[in-house]
Amino acid sequence: MLAVIMILATVFDLSDKLGEFIDNRASAKEVIFEYYVNFILFYSNMFSSMIIFISVIWFTAKMAQDTEIIPIWNSGRKFSRFVRPYMIAATFLMIISLIFNHFIIPPSNSTRLEFEERFYRRAMTVLNYHAEFPGNEVVYFTSYTAETDLINNFVVEKWDGKGNLLGFVKAGTARNIYGTKDWKLFNYYSRKVGYPNDIIEEGAEKDTVFQFDIGEMATRDNIAEAMNYFELKKFIERERKKGSPMVSTYEIELYQRTSYPFATYVLTIIGIAVASRKKRGGVGINIAIGLGIIFIYIFAMKVTTVAAINLGFPAMIAVWVPNVLFGGVAYILYRKAMR
């Protein structure tokens, strides 16, 4: 089931991006091993609970159609005994998915995202940036383009804890030295506030050091995908101190890494309950019911995610609400299937 879905996903993705890969001269080795190996790893793990759900329905429905389940129940076995092997397998797969989500997929995503930066994505642009960094430093700029690696109208203000301005530096353009916190300022003007006289400096070019780099200000929405659990926790805390509007998005990414694998339990129980009785229409009708449930589940996840990002709904609650709701559905279906 996993192989079929990933083959289809790879074919559709390749047909969409092949032109970009050719235009940017990506080699076949880079496309296969840097992109598609990691692409398959990422998406197969992301949708593992749903793929397991479809597999459970197909397997159980096949047993029901072949009249293999009725003799089991007629032998006096409890329904819970029939369900036990499913839950053991679901636990094993959930643990694997948790480990992958938090520690193995992030470095894999880092390789995939680096490939996309080189061969697929357009140059990133950030407009009208404003943030407060730890240490009471406030940063502004009007625009940044990754293609030129230049920031326009760059301003850094230094304040004390009482709201008094200690100094600032302005630059017509600025550039961060890649991989460091070293900066080059062009057409700069700086002022340090002090009694009795301020210290003013200006010039055409200056080398300096700040406590931040461009990677903290110009980030793509999916940058969190390349961070493991501990890195993402630190990143969220720093973004919260800066007052970043993206905090809820990053929190959703963190909590989904746990909630998605846990959904394996919920969907497995629903799959057993739906498919354990023989139906007219055979296996196909059970799979159709399963796909309908998946679509509703995905829709519920999207609704709660949008509520968390745009309406201030707590990210942890938003991520777990679909599991709780479908957990109730699973319980009702399970009790019904026991009769």
In a domain, 239, yes or no: no
Give the alpha-carbon dihedral of 73, 78, 79, 83, to 10 degrees.
Answer: -110
Query: Mind listing the pLDDT tens digit for each residue in 264-284?
Result: 999 999 999 888 877 776 777
In a domain, 273, yes or no: yes
- Counted domains in the chain: 2
Same domain, 140 and 201: yes
Q: In this structure, what token pair is assigned to residue 143?
A: 């625009």
CA distance 131 to 157: 11
pLDDT at 195 over 80: no
CA distance 303 to 134: 34
Query: Mind listing the pLDDT tens digit for each residue in 75-111?
Result: 888 888 899 999 999 999 999 999 999 999 999 999 9
Same domain, 88 and 152: no
pLDDT at 72: 83
Please give the average per-residue pLDDT across 206-229, as a whole number: 88
Same domain, 9 and 94: yes
Same domain, 131 and 53: no
CA distance 236 to 180: 21
pLDDT at 122: 62
In a domain, 234, yes or no: no
Same domain, 58 and 24: yes
Taking all residues of the chain, what is their mean pLDDT, rounded to a whole number? 89
pLDDT at 209 over 90: yes
In a domain, 16, yes or no: yes
**Residue 79 phi, psi (nearest 5):** -65, -35
CA distance 288 to 292: 6
Residue whose pair of structure tokens reads 């840097």 in the numeric block: 34
In a domain, 232, yes or no: no
Query: Mind listing the pLDDT tens digit for each residue in 61-81?
Result: 888 888 888 888 788 888 888
pLDDT at 220 over 80: no
- Enter the pTM of the model: 0.81
Same domain, 102 and 14: yes
pLDDT at 141 over 90: yes
> Helix/strand/coil (H, E, C) string of 8-62?
HHHHHHHHHHHHHHHHCCCCHHHHHHHHHHHHHHHHHHHCHHHHHHHHHHHHHHH
For 92-127, give the DSSP string. HHHHHHHHIIIIIHHHHHHHHHHHHHHHTSPPPEEE
Q: How many H-runs (helices) and E-runs (strands) does the chain carry?
A: 11, 6
Taking alpha carbons only, the member of 249, 173, 158, 162 closest to residue 214 is 173
Cis-peptide into 106, omega within 30 deg: no
Domain that holds residue 95: 2-119+244-338
Contact criterion met (CB below 8 Å) for 94 and 265: yes
Same domain, 16 and 114: yes
CA distance 269 to 334: 7
Distances, alpha carbon 89 to alpha carbons 3, 84, 184, 265, 309, in Å: 19, 9, 56, 10, 34
CA distance 255 to 203: 48
Same domain, 193 and 152: yes
Same domain, 28 and 47: yes
Same domain, 39 and 115: yes
Same domain, 108 and 25: yes
In a domain, 225, yes or no: no
Contact criterion met (CB below 8 Å) for 49 and 96: no
Q: DSSP code of 218?
A: S
User: Angle at CA 192, nearest 5°, toward 190 and 194?
Assistant: 155
Contact criterion met (CB below 8 Å) for 154 and 185: yes
In a domain, 58, yes or no: yes
In a domain, 235, yes or no: no
**Residue 229 phi, psi (nearest 5):** -55, -50
For the chain, the first-to-last Cα distance in angstroms comes to 30
